[in-house]
Structure 1
Amino acid sequence: MQSTSDPTLSIEDVSITGHAQLIKVRSYLPASKGALLPIVIYFHGGGFVRGSPDDAEIAAATIARHTQAWVVSVGYSLSPRFPFPAALEDGYRATQWAVANARAQGADARRMGVAGHDAGGNLATCLAAVARDRGEFAFAAQALLAPLLDPSMTRMASEDEIVDPDLGANECAQCYRAYLPNASQWLHPYAAPIESRRLAGLPPALIASAQHNLLHVEAEKYAGELIAAGVPTEVTRHRNASHHELGTHPAALADVVAFFQKRLPVKAHRR
């Protein structure tokens, strides 16, 4: 266990057993001041093929500090070496670890949220579906920042409509092919959430899209599908942000913090 200093947070890296290999989770723990903290599981971006908890540093620390939540940032296995469902199952293992250690951290495993950016948004909402179906633990809220939701790529904005997109269609297709090497996986509800016909029972959602992002159409379409399934859903489009910027965009993170404050309020510790 390796500790990193922050004046407002206790930050530690922990190695745990993942689906196919050891993975790293980074714990962000604010001072509880006697309160029982909610838990947020966070997934970094990188198109399933790159990235680490280092890339989620700003988002994870912001959520932990201002929501007053124990944030567990997941260093999941990357494709193509570890394709679907390795990253998703790593997230499940990380959540099991958080639940098992909640009491020692002064946190409440009955009040958990999940969040992510880019590929992490896909993993976040798919993990919420897995948790619903397996019934071992449950999430009370999900926040998705510029999520990748549609491996078929049939719900993207036209590249002619977006000024200087920082995520092009070709790059997006390469990422999906690495994560989902078998064509049959491209419609799997745990990989292509926008294709799922079983959205009822998912936790309340906040979906943030970026104006200068080819994927804002599918993000907003998914929000509509969740609403149609009876899932309380908020959707925002940030007009001055691109795809990659949204993971650290101050206004987007402020929305995430406010959403989790509402859905995962800090509670007094009962003695």
Structure 2
Amino acid sequence: MQSTRDSTLSIEEVSITGHAQLIRLRSYHPASKGALLPIVIYFHGGGFVRGSLDMADAAASAIARETPAWVVSVGYSLSPAFPFPAALEDGYRATQWVVANARAQGADAKRIGVAGHDAGGNLATCLAAVARDRGEFVFAAQALLAPLLDPSMTRMADEKEIVDPDLGASECAQCYRAYLPNASQWLHPYAAPIESRRLAGLPPALIASAQHDLLHVEAEKYASELIAAGVPTEVMRHGNASHHELGTHPAALADVVSFFKKRLPAKAQRR
């Protein structure tokens, strides 16, 4: 395990066995000041085909520092070399590792949130569904930043109505084809959460959309579907923000921190 430190966080990296290969996790640990820390699992963006732990650094650091929480960022396997469900199962194994190591980190395995941007938002909400169905651990909250939710791409905004979109429909389609090479996967509830008819029992959600993002329509539609299923859900559309910007957007990250503070409240550590 490699370790670095900034003025407020202890940052470590560790390799674990993933679904198809070794994957790296980056741990962000704030000073606990005697409190039992909540946990947040974080997934970077990149359309399932690119991205890295470094891409997630700003968001993961902010969440860890400001909540405060033990944040573990997942360096999941990328498509097309490792298509669905490799990245999702990597996230599951990462969470198993986190739960197993929570006590040593002064963290509470019963207060876990999950978050992600772009493809990471898809993985975050799908991992919450997998956890609900398998019953090994439970997520208490999910925060999705400009998530990719609809492989059918039938709920996108009209490109003519979006000012300077930084994610086009053709790029989005290429990413989905790489991640979901079999047509039957495009409706799988663990890959296309907006198509799922089993949303009840998912954790309370915060969904952040961006005004200048083609995907803001599907993000907000997913929020309405969660609400209809009885899932407590907040949705925020950020003006003058684009798809890629939302992963580091100060106001969006402040909303995520506020949401996790509310859903993963501070808890005194037992002595």
TM-score in terms of structure 1 length: 1.00
Matching of residues 62-77 of structure 1 within 5 Å: 62-77=62-77
Match for 2:103: what amino acid? R
**Equivalence for 1:195:** 195
Mind listing any 5+ residue stretches in structure 1 that lack a counterpart? none
**Equivalence for 2:206:** 206
Corresponding position: 1:9 with 2:1: no
> Deviation per CA, 1:65-108, whole angstroms, max 9, x where unpaired?
00010000000000000000000000000000000000000000
**Equivalence for 2:253:** 253
- Deviation of 1:240 (Å): 1.2
Q: Residues of 1 paired with 2:3 and 2:269: CA distance?
A: 26
Could you say what secondary structure the match of 1:131 adopts? helix
Q: Residues of 2 paired with 1:7 and 1:97: CA distance?
A: 26
Matching of residues 207-226 of structure 1 within 5 Å: 207-226=207-226
> Deviation per CA, 1:211-258, whole angstroms, max 9, x where unpaired?
000000000000000000000000000011000000000000000000
Matching of residues 1-271 of structure 1 within 5 Å: 1-271=1-271
Q: Residues of 1 paired with 2:42 and 2:266: CA distance?
A: 18
- Deviation of 1:270 (Å): 1.1
> Deviation per CA, 1:134-193, whole angstroms, max 9, x where unpaired?
000000000000000000000000100001100000000000000000000000000000
Match for 2:126: what amino acid? C
> Deviation per CA, 1:40-75, whole angstroms, max 9, x where unpaired?
000000000001110000000000000010000000
Q: Residues of 2 paired with 1:245 and 1:150: CA distance?
A: 20
> Deviation per CA, 1:9-61, whole angstroms, max 9, x where unpaired?
00001000000000000000001111100000000000000011100000000
Q: Residues of 2 paired with 1:225 and 1:187: CA distance?
A: 16
Q: Residues of 2 paired with 1:6 and 1:50: CA distance?
A: 26
> Deviation per CA, 1:182-205, whole angstroms, max 9, x where unpaired?
000000000000000000000000
Q: Residues of 2 paired with 1:270 and 1:15: CA distance?
A: 30
Could you say what secondary structure the match of 2:56 adopts? helix
Q: Residues of 1 paired with 2:45 and 2:131: CA distance?
A: 21
Match for 2:49: what amino acid? V
Q: Residues of 2 paired with 1:205 and 1:11: CA distance?
A: 27
Q: Residues of 2 paired with 1:105 and 1:3: CA distance?
A: 14
Q: Residues of 1 paired with 2:4 and 2:210: CA distance?
A: 32
Mind listing any 5+ residue stretches in structure 2 that lack a counterpart? none
Could you say what secondary structure the match of 1:160 adopts? helix
Could you say what secondary structure the match of 1:100 adopts? helix
Q: Residues of 1 paired with 2:145 and 2:22: CA distance?
A: 27
Q: Residues of 1 paired with 2:194 and 2:169: CA distance?
A: 18
- Deviation of 1:5 (Å): 2.0
Q: CA RMSD in A?
A: 0.4
